[in-house]
Amino acid sequence: MHEIEFRFWDVWNKEMYYRDLYFFEEEGIRKVPDEYSEQYVPLQYVGTKDKNGTKVYNGDILEDIHVLPGYPDLKRRWEVFWREKYCGFYLRLVGESGKAKDRQWIDLLHGGNVGDFEVIGNIYEHPQFLSMQQE
């Protein structure tokens, strides 16, 4: 079991907070008051780290290099997202158009290994990484 940890994207101030933003505790559960629910987007740590030891969170953008003998190396970008249908975190390959390719997913809970991947940003602070063509 991995540690439960969050970071928060502040929608209004366009800032990422890497600290506990819970403002009160009720029945043992730390909560953000409802009036702040539109301001802060919670992003959960998915329980794994990239090749540099950086924690991977929901909303992160990862990059890897796909190597096939006889072909030029291909840099690929992946978006970390929560897949409600299967109650788990997945990686979704980002295509040249910037739209994720629906069928190229990696399940992070059941054998998805990001040990060769690198966190290069996130969808809030670096949205341009979702629209850049693969190299």
> In 3D, which of 64, 72, 48 has the Cα closest to residue 120?
64
**How many C-beta neighbours within 10 Å does residue 123 have?**
18
Domain spanning 6-130: CATH superfamily: YopX-like domains (2.30.30.290)
pLDDT recorded at residue 35: 72
Question: Is 35 strand, coil or helix?
Answer: helix
Question: Is 107 strand, coil or helix?
Answer: strand
Question: Is 103 strand, coil or helix?
Answer: strand
From residue 87, alpha-carbon distances to 1, 115, 122 in Å are: 15, 22, 21
Map out the domains of the chain as residue ranges. Answer: 6-130
pLDDT by residue for the chain (135 residues), tens only, comes to 567 788 899 999 999 988 766 666 667 666 667 777 788 888 988 888 889 999 999 999 999 887 778 888 788 888 998 888 878 888 888 865 445 555 555 656 545 567 788 999 999 999 888 875 544
- As beta bridge partners, residue 75 has 65
pLDDT recorded at residue 135: 47
Sign of the CA dihedral with 52 first, then 55, 56, and 57 last? negative
pLDDT recorded at residue 113: 66
pTM of the full structure: 0.78
pLDDT recorded at residue 34: 73
pLDDT recorded at residue 67: 78
